[in-house]
Amino acid sequence: MRTARIAFTLLACLAMANVLAAQPSNRKTKVTFSGPFEIPNPHVKSGVMTLPAGTYIFTLVETPADRHVVRVTDMQGKVLSTIMAIPDYRLNASSKTVMYFSESAAATPVALKSWFYPGDNTGNRFIYPKVKAQALAAQTNQPVPSYSSAEINKDTPVQVQMPTKTEVAYSPQVFQDVDAKDTAGADGEAVTSASNPAAGTLPKTASPLAGYAMTGFALLVAAWLFRRAGIAASAR
């Protein structure tokens, strides 16, 4: 029994390694929005910009331990905003990219809340300037991460604006109850050189042949372990 557990653990670890190797580190994604939406933009006076309906590219350009940097461009590659984000979490991964939105009043742009790449439980929750975050928290009855300085960078303190008009220190646990019920979003697709030649070439990932070889080797090891366990059991 112990031998079987070791074999299954080995197979599971190799399968997980193959999945991770197949995912591009920049999580480049093309998303088409059917209506106008808002994103943070620290380079404009209000700290927020509204983009019209259309197709945009989201790219993860840097991932420090507690901050993520996301670049938003149009289909021609023009940079529209570079957004600081914090790690976000969800219980169930999806086979598609999902963009979550904050609720908004009728005929007004929705605020982009978070972005998850296909297969990932960890995503990116966008940080809004304090005034906008306070308004979103009151409007959506949900906590919203915020910053209060003139600019935001990897060292800027992040607070959370609560629906109760209070401010608390950032903690992933603040968002857990809301995230467990969050289902509203928009699907996107991972960008590849075949689907979007103008978007550039993605970083090379591990060849699937190497993954197949590793899996085959793991199966051989597992078979040998099972056989050895069977011989040992029959000899008792």
| Residues 19 and 30 both lie in one domain | no
Number of domains the chain contains = 2
7, 118: one domain: no
79 and 152 both lie in a single domain: yes
pLDDT of 192 higher than 80:
no
Query: Please, what's the b/e burial string for 116-144 (b: 16 or more CB within 10 A of its CB; e: otherwise)?
Result: bbbebeebbbbbbbbebbbbbbebbebbb
Residues 105 and 137 in one domain: yes
Distance separating alpha carbons of residues 173 and 15, to the nearest angstrom: 30
* pLDDT, tens only, 121-179: 788 999 999 999 999 999 888 899 999 877 788 788 899 999 999 999 988 888 877 77
The residue whose two tokens read 């040998």 is: 224
Q: Average pLDDT, stretch 63-74?
A: 83
My answer on whether 172 and 211 are in the same domain is no
Q: Which amino acid is at 2?
A: R
Report pLDDT digits (tens) over 96-135.
777 777 766 667 888 998 888 888 878 899 999 999 999 9
Looking at the DSSP bridge assignments, the partners of residue 82 are: 71
Same domain, yes or no, for 50 and 104?
yes
Which residue, 75, 124, 66, 136, is CA-closest to 99?
A: 124
Domain shared by 59 and 161, yes or no:
yes
- Chain segment 19-53, per-residue pLDDT in tens: 333 456 788 888 888 889 999 998 888 899 999 99
79 shares its domain with 194 = yes
Q: Are residues 172 and 222 in the same domain?
A: no
DSSP per residue, the chain: -HHHHHHHHHHHHHHHHHHHHHS-TT--EEEEESS-EEEE-TTSTTSEEEE-SEEEEEEEEE--SS-EEEEEE-TT--EEEEEEEEEEE-SS--SSEEEEE----TTSPEEEEEEE-TT-SEEEEEPEEHHHHHHHHHHHTS-EEEE-SSS--TTS--EEE-TTS-EEE--GGGGHHHHHH---EEEEEE--TTT-GGG-PPPP---HHHHHHHHHHHHHHHHHHHHHHHHHHHH-
Same domain? 135 vs 195:
yes
| Same domain (yes/no): 148, 31 | yes
Answer yes or no: do 67 and 11 share one domain. no
Residue 16 has pLDDT above 50, yes or no: no
Separation between Cα atoms, residue 169 and residue 31, nearest integer Å: 32
